[in-house]
Amino acid sequence: MLGGMAPASHPPAATRLFTCPMHPEVRQAGPGACPICGMALEPMEAAPDDKEDAELLDMTRRLKAGALLAGPLLLLAMGDMLMGHPLRHAVGARLFNGLQLLLATPVVLWCGWPFLVRGWASVRSGHLNMFTLIALGTGAAYGFSVAATLSPAWFPDSFRDTHGQVEVYFEAAAVITVLVLLGQVLELRARARAGGAIRELLDLAPRTARRQSPSGADEQVPLEEIRPGDRLQVRPGEKVPVDGVVLEGTSWVDESMLTGEARPVQKERGDPVTGGTLNTSGGFLMEAQRVGDDTVLSAIVRMVTEARRSRPPIQRLADAVAGWFVPAVLLVALVTFAAWAWAGPEPRMAHALLSAVAVLIIACPCALGLATPMSIMVGTGRGARAGVLVRSAAALEAMEKVDTLVVDKTGTLTLGRPRLESVYSLGSGPREGDLLRLAASLERASEHPIAAAVLDGARRRGLSLEQASDFRAHPGRGVTGSVAGRRVALGNATLLSELEIDPGPLPARAEALRARGETVILAAVDGQAAGLLSVADPVRRSAVPALEALRAQGLRIVMATGDDATTAAAVAEALGIEEVEAGVLPEGKTDLVERLQAQGRRVAMAGDGINDSPALARADVGIAMGTGTDVAMETAGVTLVRGDLEGIARLRRLSQGVLGNIRQNLLLAFLYNVLALPVAAGALYPFTGLLLSPMLAAAAMSFSSVSVIGNALRLRRLPL
């Protein structure tokens, strides 16, 4: 599990689970190499106190040692060759080659040891990968050179130059090893930067909190000691330690870590506050409600981590290519060797060896494997910083193709915080105060925003509520139950009809209220119509510009609501929405999504309530508003922390940016291999007389991986 936000909740590296960025199905306790591709594993859970990656430190140490030895070796070998081998002739070929052997051996056998081990492991497991090619290439160049140094007499004339000497390639083996190490170091650093979004999120939480004791004194305690119900003091400039509610005081809180917008929000008594947000001015006393793994910040970290390990459908292409890529490269290397050995210029075998090694080294499938995971990793982190939490990469890919958006009204187009506007009693039943008391007592068991409005209205009027029993929710129609021995029903005309209750004059009065955009709740007590309650849910100020932005992106907007047609039409007119589905039950929203899909539409559904969950699950992309219920957020593929339509526009831009970046990466990787392999095999030699040096092949191989990662990192600055 992702622990809470305190450092102590994270297990040590030896017991933490590690996974591969290219193969998320690989999981093991502690660091190591992926048994499929050989890449260094990374922790599945980021911790705020993570030190620098041990793999990166080890590779950096080997790189420095290798460069220290490979530099003189390259100067020695290349300088002597360019000057006509004066040093080799002066000291003798065997002694000269022996000096190169002394310099190259630590580089190949110690600095490059991880590559040799991973290459051998790939052969044993049958999962041929980039390290198979690296180990074969450097091993062939080094092994050939050792044999040529120790036993030159074994080699026939086809291996000898015009001076009768057998060339050695120690400098190629050593420099290739150093260049591959350099590529690994750059890749590991870039991967660490790509995962920085999670560490930034973890760092948002303070390590301690100021807890108020029963005596009123403050004490500084570690965050992991905070429990629900604790009273916490938050001073100006401090971060809110956990999720809770303000008890005393007024302040302005910067919630940009949730919304992506640095506009402080005023907080006063009764307002919720979120752990990790910054208290900019004023102090307040709060009550802790959700701590550790239950906080919003922990949920955000958990979702981002899950998204990083998910794989979009577009990855299937790369997976299919990678499955046959390495065997194909081995075949190309063998054909290249055979062609040069049969028809190449003298020394034919030397040319054959160099060309085959160049093919093995340059054809690294790492860039192809990293093309998608790196974009997903960086893109989901960028979305999290803007308040767009993507649960799976498949949802992100599907969002790019969405052409129809179905939006629930309450909590999505509106604030989701309805306010009680009026209470009307027929007179033959309970008076207005008693009617509101009965209604609020029953609604205490409901999570619907309208229920919250009724409860808030009762509290503001100072009414004392009672315990309800036999509570039953009728999705899309209302609720029933018993309060103080009286049977109470709250809902729409359909509910009263099902209960065979005559609504009397209530529908006519309700229609007039609905024309003003208010939602009306009909009330019945003991089987008789008793009155009605009306609530108004203000339209979000951001809804109109957000809808305009979505329409500009080519989306068809459909509003679906359980409200009656009159109320729905009033809200739709205010928002400029032309397509409205009113009086829709939960199953009706699902039917609407399926009907649109049957028309060939790619549908996204945005909602915030439990009754939206089936439709969220059925849509191509389910979008839950972060202000809604946990059930909706667990069902949806995407959660918008702030919970408004601006987040959907951001999600759309994020999807387009990430998918475009993935396509660029795949194109880079494919073009690199399509162009590089023939050049390494010697396709240009008949026209230019040039052969690609294995050292240049190693540099190109490293550059391909780094270029893909660098392109993915551009998503950190994607404008949303």
Q: Which residues are catalytic?
A: 408
Residue 401 to residue 115: CA distance in whole angstroms: 41
Angle at 636 between CA 633 and CA 639, to 5 degrees: 60
Distances (CA, A) of 707 to 65, 187, 315, 321: 25, 10, 19, 20
DSSP per residue over 685-718, as a string?
HHHH-----HHHHHHHHHHHHHHHHHHHHGGGG-
As a whole number of angstroms, the distance between CA 281 and CA 235 comes to 8
Q: How far apart are CA 300 and CA 81, in angstroms?
A: 60
Strands in 27-29's sheet, in edge-to-edge order, are 27-29, 17-19, 42-43
Locus of tokens 């240049």: 696
Angle at 376 between CA 18 and CA 676, to 5 degrees: 95
CB 209 within 8 A of CB 226: yes
Both tokens of 67, joined, read 């460069």
- CA 629 vs CA 410, 420, 422, 641, 649: distances in Å: 12, 21, 26, 12, 21
Residues 62 and 239: their CA atoms lie apart, in Å, by 42
Helices and strands, counts by H and E, the chain: 25, 25
Encoding tokens for residue 526? Answer: 């003991």
Cα separations in angstroms, 285 against 132, 252, 294: 61, 13, 21
Q: Which residue is it, tokens 């793994």?
A: 293
Beta carbons within 8 Å of 553's beta carbon, 6+ residues apart: 649, 652
Q: Nearest 5 degrees, angle CA 702-CA 705-CA 708?
A: 145
What is the rounded distance in angstroms from the CA atom of residue 230 to the CA atom of residue 287?
6
Six-digit token string for 204: 């948002």
Q: Which of 206, 288, 208, 298 minimizes the C-alpha distance to 1?
A: 298
Closest-CA residue to 350 (of 682, 702, 719)? 682
CA angle 17/19/23 to nearest 5° reads 155
Query: Are 318 and 665 a contacting pair, CB within 8 Å?
Result: no
User: What gap in Å lies between CA 157 and CA 151, rounded to an integer?
Assistant: 14
Sign (positive or negative) of CA dihedral 108, 110, 114, 118:
positive
CA 147, 150, 156, 161 torsion: positive or negative? positive
Instruction: Provide the 10 A C-beta neighbour count for residue 1.
Output: 9
